[in-house]
Chain A
Amino acid sequence: MGEFKVHRVRFFNYVPSGIRCVAYNNQSNRLAVSRTDGTVEIYNLSANYFQEKFFPGHESRATEALCWAKGQRLFSAGLNGEIIEYDLQALDIKYSMDAFGGPIWSMAASPSGSQLLVGCEDGSVKLFQINPDKIQFERNFDRQKSRILSLSWHPSGTHIAAGSIDYISVFDIKSGSAVHKMLVDRQYMGVSKRKCIIWGVAFLSDGTVISVDSAGKVQFWDSATGTLVKTHLVANADVQSIAVSDQEDSFVVGTAEGTVFHFQLVSVTSNSSEKQWVRTKPFQHHTHDVRTVAHSPTALISGGTDTHLVIRPLMEKVEVKNYDAALRKITFPHRRLISCSKKRQLLLFQFSHHLDLWRLGSTVATGKHGDTLPLSKDADHLLQLKTKGPENIICSCVSPCGSWIAYSTASRFFLRRLNYEHDNLSLHRVSKMPACLRSAVQIMFSEDSTKLFVASNQGSLHILRLLEGSFKHLHTFQAQSGTVESMCLLAVSPDGNWLAASGTSAGVHVYSVKRLKLHCTVPAYNFPVTALAIAPKTNNLVIAHSDQQIFEYSIPDKQYTEWSRAIQKQGFHHHWLQRDTPITHIGFHPKRPAHILLHDAYMFCIIDKSLPLPNDKTLLYNPLPPTNESDVIRRRTAHAFKISKKYKPLLFMDLLDEGTLVAVERPLDDIIAQLPPPIKKKKFGT
């Protein structure tokens, strides 16, 4: 297959933000995740846990609560006191509304989904009516002494439980007055703590209220009498989150020690109707606080400060014991944060509030497989570009020639011109961006760096011609009539004639840049697209989907290629289909058109289309080099998929030229080292 020099880059200091809330939507099987920087991500659990959409964060918008309401509308509320509704089609914030109660700590949609409750810093619980276009304040409930940290509706919608500091209140929705006030014991293992914070409450249909608090207790209350029924002491630290299944036969709590406990309603004796809550399974998939948990019908979902989203399927609920029943740990975003200028060997790293531009080093030495070559020039940090304002960067791109950098936040699009004079670098701002270019979801330069393609969040695509230090708006492809779906992925053919764009659900649209019109649409597939690229010369569009299928579509012929048909007919190797992470980037070999480079977080693969396809009997991945086998055997066992798992977790990989690869790794240990230390647990002597 060939020998490559690999630039192994580990200086991308990316640290994902901690997870603050998760909200599971049963109807669409989607999971909304909000992070401490205000980012909200939507995962499609049916599409192999793919991160379909994301809403960029905002410094002042620390989300404290996230919930789905009727019609799959997503709301969040945070410490800036605002309730935000998201537009899931246009990937935009629909509106934000101040609740006028100070920071909002908790939010819950009514069981019918038509009302929204928020719990505020000033001790007020506010009820909002959800109208089709907006939410409308209805009224306040009796104000409590201190902040409302948790809320839960009774499934009938007549009462709510609100967790505050040191007590839980039960409100009647009709009257808005507190029916019961249940005081929580501050004592913790005999020591009186200062305060007992009720981090979470859950109201069951039989009137039981389950509370979790900072003293490590899970308590069951009878809301009719306001009495404590049962206490489980589960942790030496805070229990921070609770989620109940729809059937109310199991629930899950997360603790600050990183442990997740599963509780189940179990018959006291076999075949007796009397049931009781029993702590059944502890899971320790986190090192830090589990800030939030969710309970889907088949899995326990948890997330916290250690930035991992963990989906733990419940084995007893899984019908088919296949690969889907395995534990999923999602750490890295399913989109590209790195772009690369091949000509100048530059890497552009995207962080939430700044961009870093690095120049790769070089070497003159050669070596054999496994060698680390001495560097003649180390990598340089050329530039750090900080954004102004509180908004996070959505996307960024460096042009192939290395002289343009474009990036966008939620409200502004930025274009910068770089001038290289020997070793000096100067940066010029390109001002007066056209009014239509307000914000971008994806940015792409053409191979010759003369055109800039921008996917805006209203579904339209803009083409700009870049001149020396200025630009000209060429054309805008408007969104297909009736849709406002944003195009999240773009691909440009190396000859600059074709532009492919894909949203999250509809098929891939291919536009002719020359004729400025839609050329064709690749038939829609059930699973979202994770990566797109157009091959040089042949203009074949390679599409990777979240179910790990790969299609090759000939743009000139407007049909799938023979190779694509062949591999669909034979099917992919089962190990290929069982991979966890989606393909996030596709590249091509400049000299060998039959080679396609793809990578996910744990492997990269070069597909040689000229070789036979592997079937399920052949070994897909062989880490060992062939040793004493003859060439005949080697040729016979060779197949199209050349896989390497040497670099992981792999955030970016591309071919710089025919013999050079660049791989950007982000070792998990480095991320953990930058997190606050976890709660220390004694190993010896309890």
Chain B
Amino acid sequence: MAALEEEFTLSAVPLGAGPDGLLGVEQCDKTDQFLITDGGRTVILYKVSDQKPLGSWSVKQGQVITCPAVCNFQTGEYIVVHDSKVLRLWTNEDVNLDKVFKATLSAEVYRIHSIPGTEPLVLFKEGAVRGLEALLAEPQQKIETVISDEEVIKWTKFFMVFRHPALIFITEKHGNYFAYVQKFNSSVLSKYTLLLGQEENFVIQSFTASLDRKFISLLSLSSDGCIYETLIPIHPSDPEKNQQPRVVRSLLLKTVVSGNARNALSVLDQDHVAVLGPPLPASKECLSIWNTKFQTLQVSKELPQGTSGQLWYYGEHLFMLHGKILTVIPYKCEMSSLAGALGKLKHGQDSGTQTMPHFVNWETSQGYGLESKNSEPSKRILRRRTIEPSVQPEVPASQQLLSIIKKDSEKHIEIELRKFLATKRTPDFHTVIGDIAIGLLERCKTEPSFYPRNSLMQLIQMHVLSYSLCPGLMEVALEKTDIQMLQLCLQQFPDIPEAVTCACLKMFLSIGDDNLQEIDVNMESVSDYSDAVQDEKMEEQMGILQNGFNPEEDNCDNCDKELSKKPQKTVEETTSCPVIPKRAALLNAVLHSAYSESFLLPHLKDIPAQHITLFLQYLYFLYLKCNENATMTLPGIHPPTLNQIMDWICLLLDANFTVLVMIPEAKSLLLSLYKFVKSQICICSELNKIEVSFRELKKLNQEKNNRELYSIEVLELF
């Protein structure tokens, strides 16, 4: 896992960095030492671990260093160019740059490159390249022009490719980019045109490159904030052809920084890049490490004082100007796990939008809760859409919404909420939603007339609320007799307390039919229980023994007589749905909700007996419906299961048996339930009898198979 360590600053005195920052940070021949060239006249040699300068050299007043100082790894000398054409070479012992070796060249130098293992190279502004030794031998030699007139070198890097030096430089001309690869073993210069893809109107802000076997992987950071990768072959496939090969950029990482500021990019290793720049247009600049393989943000560090948009990476150190001070951040990348890599970012689903919010840093969001910058993106959108200049810029959208909830009208809240919900979800979305719901409910409590029903419904339908996130919601709905919302809650919440479930049940059973007709209820769990046609069907079905149960069975002695008095009525009761479909839908919602038996039982006792009877009748009706098909299921989209039905029947009987026995209306129902249980017991005892018989049969069978105790057999071994 990539990690940034504690930063430290290098210079006690601020560098005289110009508006363009430093000229460069370069490695030295000794480890831990770096040459830092500021934008003016000074070169400082730093020992990074000690955080102190070892030496400092300046050019004369009037002279300007034009190219960062480098170290010649072969000789240990330092080289710098001032006034574009004057080369200076010196060592640690020299004090005054004026008195050291000087060579004046015939053309303007763009950069001097030096890496360990080879002699330094001088790249001229016209694109020509010379070795330092050859140049020093004949400083005034003629330098040819390689690139065309208005082409300007933008960026350059020097590599060792299989022990041979290679130089890549990028030029720009009228918004077109070209890449040149100069190899020195074969002195071949290859030119490539960089095709930018669709985003041609974006400016490339920063380049970085790394070697990937046969390719140079050139990463570029465009002003749209995305990182693109271009693979440039090291060995040109067909150098004879004079046609310019083209290389295409491909998108590597999306929207890692906001494009407007000065951003910088540096490859750390195969899978990691460091990006410097503000993640959002308004936010502070950040140094972020991204994993390109998993497209995840590994770590990010805010640099509130701003940077110069420059980033250097050597060994394990990242160098940048933070404010005016040169800052070093040690960087480490250990073995990372997939889970660790994935944990940082939820990928945005909306692909095209440029305003996609950036990453979330868990560390910061934990501390601040809602006021963290996580909600900033939504705030930004909100600010853009609502014309409300008075809002302070730092307040997140949810906070604004909460303050709106406290005072504004229901209508306005609804509009604002819709706007809020339309924005991108942040990881703490559910807590935000919960807070909004609680905010709404609080106002409900203080203001009896306030009931933002639509807003609450909207929140519930986000599928993120649970009972524990907004404890008062269902109570309020119960108070307002909001059947529809209660049904929605029962369907959505996984953790409703049994007392509330029971209260809902009570309400669903007690509300009048005519009241129900006016309410809009989700009917998907209720299939067409229309009775007229099915009555006949049921009669037929009764003939068949379903699971051994036949209410007309004549083995029930004393109850039989009573039942036979009005058998017609019983059948009617059981075959037509005892409740209207809307109530059925509501009761189904209760059946579906989770409960724990021991907590539910005491509450069930509070329901009036006639409602219990009604509910039992309904359950019994459902049970008979179940029996109509072989799979023992009900028709419909999300019907109650047989187990739910049976469990509820048992629960209701357990809770209210003494009461039910007393009331005459329940008598026929209880009788039929009794008969049902009795027939089930019969079946079980029959099965047990059969089991014994089967066992005896099995024993007989075994004895038959068992050969006698002694026999002589013939066996052949093969």
Q: Is B528 an interface residue (CB 8 A)?
A: no
Whether the Cβ atoms of B712 and A7 lie closer than 8 Å is yes
Partner of B717 from the list A367, A371, A606, A683 (CB cut-off 8 Å) is A606
> Interface residue tally of chain B, by bracket?
20 to 34
The residues of B that contact A606 with a CB separation of less than 8 Å are: 717
Q: Is A2 an interface residue (CB 8 A)?
A: yes
> Interface residue tally of chain A, by bracket?
35 or more
B674-718: CB near A (< 8 Å → 1, else 0) gives 000000110111011001000000000010001111111111111
Q: Is A4 an interface residue (CB 8 A)?
A: yes
Whether the Cβ atoms of A6 and B714 lie closer than 8 Å is yes
Residue of B nearest to A12 (CB): B709
Whether the Cβ atoms of A685 and B684 lie closer than 8 Å is yes
Question: Of A267-275, A328-336, A372-380, A573-581, which binds chain B?
Answer: A372-380
The residues of B that contact A642 with a CB separation of less than 8 Å are: 717-718
Whether the Cβ atoms of B712 and A685 lie closer than 8 Å is no
Whether the Cβ atoms of A684 and B707 lie closer than 8 Å is no
Whether the Cβ atoms of B688 and A3 lie closer than 8 Å is no
The residues of B that contact A3 with a CB separation of less than 8 Å are: 714-716
Complexed CA–CA distance, A369 and B715 (Å): 5
Partner of A10 from the list B691, B710, B715 (CB cut-off 8 Å) is B710
**Total A-B pairs in contact (CB under 8 Å)?**
94
Complexed CA–CA distance, A379 and B708 (Å): 12
Contacting residues of chain A (322-381) with chain B, CB-CB under 8 angstroms: 361-363, 366-373, 375, 378-379
The residues of A that contact B680 with a CB separation of less than 8 Å are: 685
Partner of A685 from the list B687, B706, B710, B718 (CB cut-off 8 Å) is B687
Whether the Cβ atoms of A685 and B717 lie closer than 8 Å is no
Whether the Cβ atoms of B684 and A369 lie closer than 8 Å is no
B157-168: CB near A (< 8 Å → 1, else 0) gives 000000000000
The residues of B that contact A684 with a CB separation of less than 8 Å are: 683-684, 687-688, 691
Whether the Cβ atoms of B713 and A373 lie closer than 8 Å is yes
Complexed CA–CA distance, A587 and B712 (Å): 20
The residues of A that contact B687 with a CB separation of less than 8 Å are: 683-685
The residues of B that contact A373 with a CB separation of less than 8 Å are: 711-714
Complexed CA–CA distance, A294 and B240 (Å): 82
Residue of B nearest to A626 (CB): B718
Contacting residues of chain A (495-519) with chain B, CB-CB under 8 angstroms: none
Q: Is A11 an interface residue (CB 8 A)?
A: yes
Complexed CA–CA distance, A7 and B710 (Å): 7
- Identify the interface centre among A9, A361, A685: most chain B CB within 10 Å of its CB: A685
The residues of B that contact A669 with a CB separation of less than 8 Å are: 702, 706
Q: Is A667 an interface residue (CB 8 A)?
A: yes
Complexed CA–CA distance, A684 and B685 (Å): 8
Partner of A644 from the list B683, B684, B688, B717 (CB cut-off 8 Å) is B717
A604-624: CB near B (< 8 Å → 1, else 0) gives 001000000000000000100
Complexed CA–CA distance, A606 and B713 (Å): 18
Whether the Cβ atoms of B685 and A369 lie closer than 8 Å is no
Taking A684-B688, A685-B681, A685-B687 as contacts, is the C-beta distance between A361 and B715 under 8 angstroms? no
The residues of B that contact A363 with a CB separation of less than 8 Å are: 712
The residues of A that contact B706 with a CB separation of less than 8 Å are: 667, 669
The residues of A that contact B685 with a CB separation of less than 8 Å are: 685
The residues of A that contact B707 with a CB separation of less than 8 Å are: 8, 10, 372
Whether the Cβ atoms of A685 and B688 lie closer than 8 Å is yes
The residues of B that contact A644 with a CB separation of less than 8 Å are: 715, 717
Residue of A nearest to B680 (CB): A685
- Identify the interface centre among B691, B706, B713: most chain A CB within 10 Å of its CB: B713
Whether the Cβ atoms of B711 and A372 lie closer than 8 Å is yes
Whether the Cβ atoms of B717 and A2 lie closer than 8 Å is yes
The residues of B that contact A7 with a CB separation of less than 8 Å are: 710, 712
Q: Is A5 an interface residue (CB 8 A)?
A: yes
Whether the Cβ atoms of A378 and B710 lie closer than 8 Å is yes
Whether the Cβ atoms of B691 and A683 lie closer than 8 Å is yes
Q: In the assembled complex, how far is the CB of residue A228 from the closest CB belonging to chain B, in whole angstroms?
A: 19
Partner of A1 from the list B683, B684, B713, B717 (CB cut-off 8 Å) is B717
Q: Is A422 an interface residue (CB 8 A)?
A: no
The residues of B that contact A367 with a CB separation of less than 8 Å are: 714
Contacting residues of chain A (651-678) with chain B, CB-CB under 8 angstroms: 661, 667, 669
Whether the Cβ atoms of A8 and B713 lie closer than 8 Å is yes
Residue of B nearest to A642 (CB): B717
The residues of A that contact B714 with a CB separation of less than 8 Å are: 3-6, 366-371, 373
The residues of A that contact B718 with a CB separation of less than 8 Å are: 1, 622, 625-626, 642
Complexed CA–CA distance, A669 and B680 (Å): 35
Whether the Cβ atoms of A6 and B712 lie closer than 8 Å is yes
Complexed CA–CA distance, A379 and B684 (Å): 48
Q: Is A432 an interface residue (CB 8 A)?
A: no
Q: In the assembled complex, how far is the CB of residue B134 from the closest CB belonging to chain A, in whole angstroms?
A: 65
Residue of B nearest to A366 (CB): B714
Complexed CA–CA distance, A372 and B687 (Å): 40
Whether the Cβ atoms of B717 and A372 lie closer than 8 Å is no
Q: Is A682 an interface residue (CB 8 A)?
A: yes
Residue of B nearest to A667 (CB): B706
Taking A682-B688, A685-B688 as contacts, is the C-beta distance between A8 and B710 under 8 angstroms? yes
Partner of B716 from the list A2, A683, A685 (CB cut-off 8 Å) is A2
Q: In the assembled complex, how far is the CB of residue A3 from the closest CB belonging to chain B, in whole angstroms?
A: 5
Q: In the assembled complex, how far is the CB of residue B708 from the closest CB belonging to chain A, in whole angstroms?
A: 8
A436-464: CB near B (< 8 Å → 1, else 0) gives 00000000000000000000000000000
Q: In the assembled complex, how far is the CB of residue A481 from the closest CB belonging to chain B, in whole angstroms?
A: 47
Complexed CA–CA distance, A7 and B685 (Å): 47
Q: Is A646 an interface residue (CB 8 A)?
A: yes
Whether the Cβ atoms of A5 and B688 lie closer than 8 Å is no
Whether the Cβ atoms of B713 and A683 lie closer than 8 Å is no
The residues of A that contact B711 with a CB separation of less than 8 Å are: 8, 372-373, 375
Complexed CA–CA distance, A2 and B702 (Å): 32
Whether the Cβ atoms of B710 and A11 lie closer than 8 Å is yes
Q: In the assembled complex, how far is the CB of residue A360 from the closest CB belonging to chain B, in whole angstroms?
A: 8
Complexed CA–CA distance, A282 and B94 (Å): 85
Residue of B nearest to A362 (CB): B712
Whether the Cβ atoms of A6 and B715 lie closer than 8 Å is yes
Complexed CA–CA distance, A456 and B159 (Å): 87
Whether the Cβ atoms of B710 and A361 lie closer than 8 Å is yes
Whether the Cβ atoms of A625 and B681 lie closer than 8 Å is no
The residues of B that contact A682 with a CB separation of less than 8 Å are: 688
Taking A682-B688, A684-B687, A685-B684 as contacts, is the C-beta distance between A5 and B717 under 8 angstroms? no
The residues of A that contact B715 with a CB separation of less than 8 Å are: 3-6, 369-370, 644, 646, 661
The residues of A that contact B708 with a CB separation of less than 8 Å are: 10
Complexed CA–CA distance, A8 and B715 (Å): 11
Q: In the assembled complex, how far is the CB of residue B691 from the closest CB belonging to chain A, in whole angstroms?
A: 6
Taking A1-B718, A684-B684, A685-B684 as contacts, is the C-beta distance between A11 and B709 under 8 angstroms? yes
Complexed CA–CA distance, A206 and B546 (Å): 55
Residue of B nearest to A13 (CB): B709
Complexed CA–CA distance, A366 and B712 (Å): 10
Q: In the assembled complex, how far is the CB of residue B596 from the closest CB belonging to chain A, in whole angstroms?
A: 18
Complexed CA–CA distance, A661 and B710 (Å): 13
Residue of B nearest to A358 (CB): B710
Complexed CA–CA distance, A606 and B681 (Å): 59
Q: In the assembled complex, how far is the CB of residue B416 from the closest CB belonging to chain A, in whole angstroms?
A: 38
Residue of B nearest to A686 (CB): B684
Complexed CA–CA distance, A684 and B547 (Å): 14
Complexed CA–CA distance, A683 and B702 (Å): 21
Contacting residues of chain A (241-255) with chain B, CB-CB under 8 angstroms: none
Residue of A nearest to B687 (CB): A684
Q: In the assembled complex, how far is the CB of residue A597 from the closest CB belonging to chain B, in whole angstroms?
A: 10
Q: In the assembled complex, how far is the CB of residue A364 from the closest CB belonging to chain B, in whole angstroms?
A: 10
Return 14 A-B CB contacts under 8 Å, by A number: A1-B717, A3-B715, A5-B712, A10-B707, A369-B714, A370-B715, A371-B713, A372-B707, A373-B713, A378-B710, A626-B718, A669-B706, A683-B687, A684-B687
- Given A10-B708, A684-B688, 18 further pairs, Cβ under 8 A: A2-B716, A3-B714, A4-B714, A6-B715, A8-B707, A9-B710, A362-B712, A369-B714, A372-B707, A373-B712, A375-B711, A625-B716, A626-B718, A642-B718, A683-B687, A684-B691, A685-B680, A685-B683
4 closest pairs, A vs B, by CB? Answer: A685-B684, A684-B687, A369-B716, A1-B717
